Structures are given as structure tokens and as C-alpha cells.
Amino acid sequence: MTHPAYGVARQVTPFASVLLEDNPGPLTLDGTNTWLLRAPDSTHTAVVDPGELDIPHLERVLAAAGPIEAVLITHHHEDHVGGAKWLADKANAPVRAFDQALCHGEGPLRDGDTLTLAGLDLEVLHTPGHSSDSVCFAIDHNGQSAVLTGDTILGRGTTVIAPPDGQLGAYLDALRTLAGRAPNTAVLPGHGPELPDLVGVAREYLAHREQRLDQIRAALAHIGPDATPRQIVEIVYADVDKSLWGPAEWSVQAQLAYLRGR
């Protein structure tokens, strides 16, 4: 599964299509996935993560979406939320997020909420870890299940946990929650291609995190208990391109905080 050209709406499930923003980078991969949710018989759309304040991209979202019932945000990072207010104003639609400060026109999302939008029922799952306000949106429509995972699970690679907002313990709990969903639930991520099985990917993510924790324990035993995140990165991430050592250092900070109980 590969992404289309930037700005071309691609149908992924009967109720979800994706527009890829042209903002590639080390943390955004190919770019931000803007998801357009609409039941086949609905005349309205719910937009998830409109991306940055990128007017050409947002105009393409407007054109592809038609009437927008709501703009939904998975978390507060600029590559997901930067264009939300602009898009909502143009569409005369509310913005809804877990963080009240990001909302316009309606109140914040809460864990366990069910949103009825664009002919679909969306279950809100609070999945902190990547950020404290991260949420996923679960959909089960006509026997087909999918979860929009934001940056909690990516289409490729692994998620960066950057303290203090990012917390590894919370993230591991979120992955366990997702691993408990129904088998064969599609992953519709914030970056990267869609994936066919949420449960399998969540378990792989958990196994990867446990492997990294074991590597850090080994590095601490070698260097000493007061080792800095940078010293650990130089050992554990020695085979990773140095351009990614900055984000790796954030994740090591989160892992050390988890291991040290703070």
C-alpha cells in the first residue's frame, strides 16, 4: 500500500478517504494524512487532522469534503491542528479535540464519547503517551472496523515519545488498549500508509518498546546508572541515521523516566 500523489483524495474504506499533505519530514514521514470520513449515503463529511496552515492543502480538503459537519483533532501538534481553525471557519463547522483550548464552537472530547457524524458513529478513545491529549477514533460500520490512530500508531516506523508531555507508561497502556480491539481492524494513521490489523501492529509496538527498554537497561549496566540520554542514544541507536538522534533522545528520556519511576 502506497500513498498517491500529494493532494489527491484516495478511498481507503467505504467510509474513509485520505488526502496527503505535502509536508514530508523526519517526523511527518511522507506528510500528514488528512482523513475524510463519510458513510456512503451521507451528504456531509467529518474531517480528521486537517494538517498545517497550508492553504493549498486546506482548499483541496474543502473541495474533496463537500459540506463539513465537524473538524476533529487527534492531538495538539502543529502538523495535525495548524489548519483546523481556518478550515472550520471556511466550512462553518466546529473543531473538536480532547484539549479544550483547541475547540471552537463545541466542547471537548472525552474518553468513551460516541460522536454521530457524517452517517457514522465514532467512538473516542483517549490514548495518551505520544501526547497527553492524544485520542483515536474507532469506527464500526456495516461490519467493517477501523481506528484512526493519529500519531499513537504510524503507518511505518515507531512513534516518538517526547517528555514531559509524552509519557511512556501512559503510551504502553494506550497500546494495550488498542491491542484489545477486534481482530482485522484497519489502522488509519496520522502519517504513513494504512495497515490491515490494529491488534497485530499494537502488539508489535509493545514488543518493540520492551526490546528498547531491555537495550537501555543493558546500556545503563554498561555505562552506569547516571548515564545521560545522549550517551545511551550513541549505543542503542548506533545503527540509526544521526539526523534522527534528536527524536531518539526524546524517546530515551521518556524511557529513562519510566525505568527510574518518575
Q: In this structure, what CATH number is given to the domain that contains residue 114? A: 3.60.15.10
Residue 246 lies in a domain: no
pTM of this structure:
0.94
- Nearest Cα residue to 248 out of 260, 238, 258, 257: 238
Give Cβ neighbours of residue 125 (< 8 Å, ≥ 6 apart).
Answer: 111, 135, 136, 137, 138, 147, 177, 178
Q: What is the pLDDT of residue 262?
A: 60
Residue 143 lies in a domain: yes
Residue 221 lies in a domain: no
Share of the chain above pLDDT 90, in %: 87
Confidence tier at 261 by pLDDT (50, 70, 90): confident
In this structure, the strands spanning 144-150 and 135-141 are: antiparallel
Residue 16: domain span: 10-198
Residue 153 lies in a domain: yes
Q: What is the pLDDT of residue 3?
A: 56
Residue 259 lies in a domain: no
Residue 233 lies in a domain: no
- Nearest Cα residue to 123 out of 105, 108, 137, 133: 137
Mean pLDDT along residues 71-81: 98
What angle (nearest 5°) sits at the alpha carbon of residue 27, between those of residues 22 and 28? Answer: 25
Inform me whether the pLDDT recorded for 130 exceeds 50: yes
Give Cβ neighbours of residue 142 (< 8 Å, ≥ 6 apart).
Answer: 14
Confidence tier at 72 by pLDDT (50, 70, 90): very high
Stronger pLDDT, 3 or 121, i.e. the higher one? 121
Share of the chain above pLDDT 70, in %: 98
Residue 222 lies in a domain: no
Residue 217 lies in a domain: no
Inform me whether the pLDDT recorded for 1 exceeds 50: no
Mean pLDDT along residues 102-107: 96
Name the domain count of the chain: 1
Q: Supply the mean pLDDT for the chain.
A: 94
